[in-house]
Amino acid sequence: MRIGVYGLGRIGLMHARNAALAEGVTEVVLIGRDADRIEKARAAVQAMLDEAGRESAPLSTSLLPLEEVLAELDGIIVATATATHAEHARVVAASGTPLLIEKPLALEADELQTLSDELEATGTPIMVAFQRRYDPGYQGLRARVQDGSVGTLRTVTAHNYDHHPLRLEYIPDSRGMWIDLLVHEFDVIPWVTGDEVVEVTSIGSVLDEPTYEQYQDADTCIVLLRFASGAVGTAAGLRRSGAGQDCRLEVVGSEGAFAVGIGPNAALESTEPGVAASVRTYDDFEDRFQAAFHAEMDHFVRMVRGEAESLTPPSAGLAATRIAEAAAVSFRTGRPVRIG
């Protein structure tokens, strides 16, 4: 199985490594316009594979145009700049080549609705990279809700705290805390709970980096969520937490309470006597979700073989995008915003 990777930044290199380590992949093809840059990327991925110390598929390189490269691939991963996602997704979908593409597919909900309808009509298998749906812990939490262990949903509490701050030059183009960071919470919370978010209220502050204020953004925030069932929840975000990368989700119901993100690497230290602190906390999102990214790639390979269906088709991002848009409006206006 030949898997291509187009887009050779940090995320693309990670995907290339994971694809080369995935069972059933026989070759990973790095794709780009510049032969020198592709070769540097190949060397970087090979170093990552050497460090992993496991058997892996060989790496090769290929130059654009994309349409010609696709003819020789069984599947492709697209991790190019956000502004190019829609264009590349259309090209790949038209070819029928199974696709794993980084989010977001589109920056506005209405645009995403139109695009997802178009892409899904082609019948091409497509996974959008909301990796938490493939994470064993989040899947286990969802199973507890579905099998009745939680009972009637009461509260949901999510935390997404980045260890390292954003690069200052990225802040103007990030589109804010809601789309750039908390969109993962806005995706996975309805998926885990099976409950629709119908209203959001956002509050936030700039406590760390003044640049955020210039762009009506925040580096510290909480979003209050109201669900269709009447349950309530919160999603909190931080752009920098010295304790380490911290992503947790807690679900409490009438019969039980369960959580993902609580473990030996959690960036949360108990002050209860006799409770040991974490030996090592996660350094960044890639470290925190290493298992999720590998599981995502394994699922993609199975999808390419026709053995699995996408858990994150293009339309899957619609709910998260609408919640993020509503959260941004609430932050600007100071008022609750209804969805739908």
Question: What b/e sequence results for 54-83 when a residue is b if at least 16 CB atoms lie within 10 Å of its CB, and e otherwise?
Answer: eebbebebbeeebeebbeebbbbbbbbeee
User: What are the residue ranges spanned by the domains of the chain?
Assistant: 2-129, 133-285+319-338
Question: What b/e sequence results for 294-330 when a residue is b if at least 16 CB atoms lie within 10 Å of its CB, and e otherwise?
Answer: bbbbbbbbebbeeeeebbbebbbbbbbbbbbbbbbeb
In this structure, the strands spanning 220-227 and 197-205 are antiparallel
CA 186 from centre of chain: 11
Could you tell me the pTM of the whole model?
A: 0.96
Which pLDDT does position 340 carry in this prediction? 80
| Residues composing the chain | 340
Burial class from Cβ neighbours inside 10 Å (0-12, 13-18, 19+) for residue 24 reads middle
Tell me the one-letter amino acid at 38.
I
Q: Which two tokens stand for residue 334?
A: 């100071």
Tell me the one-letter amino acid at 265.
N
Cβ proximity of 322 and 109 under 8 Å: yes
Which pLDDT does position 286 carry in this prediction? 96
What gap in Å lies between CA 79 and CA 76, rounded to an integer? Answer: 10
- CATH code that applies to domain 133-285+319-338: 3.30.360.10
My answer on whether omega of the bond before 104 falls inside 30° of 0, hence cis, is yes
Which pLDDT does position 107 carry in this prediction? 86
Which residue bears the tokens 């209405």? 110
Task: Name the CATH superfamily housing domain 2-129.
Answer: NAD(P)-binding Rossmann-like Domain (3.40.50.720)
Cβ proximity of 194 and 200 under 8 Å: no
Taking 3-state DSSP, the helix, strand and coil percentages for the chain, each rounded to the nearest 5, stand at 40, 20, 35
* Torsion angle (degrees, nearest 10) of CA 86, 90, 96, 99: -10
CA distances, 229 to each of 67, 186, 193 (Å) = 47, 17, 11
What gap in Å lies between CA 39 and CA 44, rounded to an integer? Answer: 9
pLDDT in tens, the chain (340 residues): 999 999 999 999 999 999 999 999 999 999 999 999 999 999 999 999 999 999 999 999 999 999 999 999 999 999 999 999 999 999 999 999 999 999 999 989 999 999 999 999 999 999 999 999 999 999 999 999 999 999 999 999 999 999 999 999 999 988 899 999 999 999 999 999 999 999 999 999 999 999 999 999 999 999 999 999 999 999 999 999 999 999 999 999 999 999 999 999 999 999 999 999 888 999 999 999 999 999 999 999 999 999 999 999 999 999 999 999 999 999 999 999 999 8
Largest CA distance in the chain: 63
